Amino acid sequence: MLKPATLLLASAIAATRACDIPSDTLSNNITEGFAVQVQNASLPVVHNHYLNIWDWGGGDQHLFVSPSGNSTSALTLVDGVLTLPWDPPRRAVINGEYEVKDNTTKMFMTERGDPRAVFEPVYGCNPDTDAVQIELALKSLDTLAEGGNIGVRPFNGIYDFRYTPEGNTAYDPDRPWTKVTLVVVSPEAVTGL
C-alpha cells in the first residue's frame, strides 16, 4: 500500500507536470537561432535567466548566467552540440578548470577540438507556466557514453556553467553547484532578466 506521503508527492508531481508532451521525437539539429533559458526555481538568482557569452580571448567564449556577459539568441544545435554559427564556429565543450572539491568541469565555447557537450532536445513542461518547452538534456560527453548534468556555480556573485558526472557525490558548500534545466527559447521570447 502506498503511504500517504508518497501519494501526496505523486499528486504534487502530477500537478506541476501536467502539460501534454507531444509524442514526436525532436531533431538534434536546430538551425534557427535561439537563446537558452536557465531554470531552477529553487535558485531565484538564476531561475529564468539566460545563458550568456563572455569574450574570454583566444576565440573562446565563456558561459555565464545573465546579466553577466553578453546575451545571445544566435545559438544553434548541430548534431546535439550548442554552436555559435560564427566563422569559425564556436562549440560548447566540457573541459578545463576541473575542480576536485566538487568534481565539476567547466562548460565553455571554443573553436578548438575539446570534448563536446552533446545534448538531446526533449519536451518538458515549464515549471511556472506549464507550457510545453524544449529542454536540452545532456546526453554524453563527446563520444563517451558517460552521462551527467549541467549546473551553475557562483564565483564572486556571478555564475558559470559546470558539468558533473552522473552519480557525483562531491559537493562544496562554499560554492554550491546547482543543477539547472536548459531550455531552447526563441529570440522574441527573451525577457530582460
Ligand X SMILES: *[C@@H]1O[C@H](CO)[C@@H](O)[C@H](O)[C@H]1NC(C)=O
CB closer to ligand X out of 1 and 78: 78
Nearest to 72 by CA among 116, 36, 120, 106: 36
Binding site for ligand X (CB under 6 A): 27, 29, 40, 42, 54-55, 69-70, 78-79, 103, 165, 168-170, 178-181
Give the shortest CB-142-to-ligand X separation in angstroms.
Answer: 13
Residue tagged 508532451 (cell numbers): 21
3-state secondary structure of 49: strand
Give the shortest CB-107-to-ligand X separation in angstroms.
Answer: 14
For residue 38, what are the CA distances in angstroms to 135, 157, 172, 174? 10, 16, 21, 22
Contact yes or no for 125/18 (Cβ under 8 A): yes
CB closer to ligand X out of 4 and 44: 44
Rg (CA), the chain: 17
Distance CA 193, CA 174 (A): 25
CB closer to ligand X out of 1 and 166: 166
Give the shortest CB-92-to-ligand X separation in angstroms.
Answer: 16
Give the shortest CB-114-to-ligand X separation in angstroms.
Answer: 16
CB closer to ligand X out of 9 and 170: 170
